[in-house]
Amino acid sequence: GRVLLPNASVAEVITFSEPERVSNAPEWMFGRIRWRGWRIPLISFSLLAGMALEERVEGARVAVVKALDDPLRLPYIGVLTQGFPRLTTVSPDILVPNLDFSGERPGVLINLMLRDDQVVIPDLAAIESALRDVFANAA
């Protein structure tokens, strides 16, 4: 499925660069990358949400997403993307609940259908909380 984010939450899309590793980090947390003077966490949303078993980095890009809860300590999050993110005009009448989906996934706020495509809206607050836990447990 695709990840659906408000355009205003994406600061920039950059090419993938090898991250600095973070000790004791879960598989979905690749490490930190440098972006505009910041060291920002790089995550795989697909791995976090259990939507993939592995993540390819060849040809990947990073969507730099503005964090919501703690802009002083965690202002941005890098989210690994395959391909180039695109703008999509969305209106309430073309978004419908995904009735084929059952259960909850970590980091997912809601599962929807956008026309014929399955989309997920990430729970950025939950992702930020999970990242704070990762950094608290890092050695």
Q: Which of 27, 24, 53 is nearest to 42 (CA)?
A: 27
Helix/strand/coil (H, E, C) string of the chain? Answer: CEECCCHHHEEEEEECCCCECCCCCCCCEEEEEEECCEEEEEECHHHHCCCCCCCCCCCCEEEEEECCCCCCCCCEEEEEECCCCCCCCCCHHHEEECCCCCCCCCCEEEEEEECCEEEEEECHHHHHHHHHHHHHHCC
**How high is the pLDDT of residue 26?**
95
Q: Tell me how many domains the chain contains.
A: 1
Q: Each residue's pLDDT tens digit in the chain (139 positions)?
A: 689 998 899 999 999 999 999 999 999 999 999 999 999 999 999 999 988 888 888 889 999 999 988 777 889 999 999 877 888 888 888 888 887 766 688 899 988 989 888 899 999 999 999 999 998 887 5
Q: Pairing between strand 108-114 and 117-122?
A: antiparallel
Query: What pTM value is reported for the model?
Result: 0.90
For residue 47, the enclosing domain spans 2-137
Q: What is the CATH number of the domain that holds 59?
A: 2.40.50.180
